[in-house]
Amino acid sequence: MSRTVFSAVLAFLLSAIAATTALAEEPHEPVTHRFCFTCHGTDGIGSEGIQAPRLAGMEPWYLKRQLELFRAGGRGTHPMDIEGMEMQPMAAILTDAEIEDVVQWASTWEYIPAQPTITGGDVDHGKQLFQACVMCHGDQAQGNQAMNAPALQGQNDWYLVTQLKNFKAGYRGANPLDTFGAPMRAMTSGLADEQAIIDVVSYINTLGR
């Protein structure tokens, strides 16, 4: 190899090493975080278009449980749970350490209650229906870890409507692995139809604001 060619190769290798070192030292979001950005947004407020709920302000214990449930195939495997089926393979690749990392990272987002979007609900009727939810979710829908019930107040109302429909139809909560989701199937049986679901979610929209 001539001296000129050797010098050129050496210069290239040194520049490549320097570039690699610089990239390694630059702060960057882990790959798992970038996966979350795609659907849930860079601020964690969710996206109605793809039915990705707000994660900002979600209880760490609940988020962790749902990620583990998705990973285990206890949620997001029913063919009619379209949005859940999109989430399940994303969670399936996560290690325990990565789930802990995602949960910790999501806890850094500022909690901002989602703005109401649904219309046509009867709030007074929804309040009556919600009394069956108080024991687990609290009178202000603030959630209760002891009852394994997440907060509902401030969550995207379109997401709550979809999930209540899923529970009622058996698309969610029917899997034997989803032991905490199973009681929700029984509770949603008290919601006669879609209008009743809209009514109760309309009432939830008035709480915690």
Spatial separation of the C-alpha atoms in residues 14 and 181, rounded to whole Å = 56
pLDDT at site 35: 75
pLDDT band for 36, please (50, 70, 90 cuts). confident
* Cα dist from 158 to 25, 72, 110, whole Å: 41, 26, 21
The model's pTM is 0.83
Summarised one tens digit per residue, pLDDT across range 150-202 is 999 999 999 999 999 999 999 999 999 999 999 999 999 999 999 999 999 99
pLDDT at site 13: 36
- Indicate the number of domains in the chain: 1
User: Domain containing 124 — which CATH number?
Assistant: 1.10.760.10
Tracing tokens 């703005």 back to the chain, one arrives at 115
- Which tokens in the block code for residue 11? 């210069």
Return the bridge partners of 47, or none: 52
Summarised one tens digit per residue, pLDDT across range 43-79 is 899 999 889 999 999 999 999 999 999 999 999 999 9
Per-residue pLDDT at 12 exceeds 80: no
In a domain, 3, yes or no: no
In a domain, 13, yes or no: no
Per-residue pLDDT at 2 exceeds 80: no
For the chain, the straight-line distance linking the first and the last C-alpha, in angstroms and rounded, comes to 74
In a domain, 192, yes or no: yes
In a domain, 113, yes or no: yes
Spatial separation of the C-alpha atoms in residues 20 and 118, rounded to whole Å = 50
Hey, is 52 helix, strand or coil?
Answer: strand
Domain extent, residue 77, equals 31-204
Phi, psi (degrees; rounded to nearest 5) at 170:
85, 10
In a domain, 21, yes or no: no
In a domain, 198, yes or no: yes
pLDDT at site 42: 84
In a domain, 182, yes or no: yes
Q: Residue 66's closest CA among 37, 36, 25?
A: 36
In this structure, the number of other CB atoms found within 10 A of the CB of residue 150 comes to 21
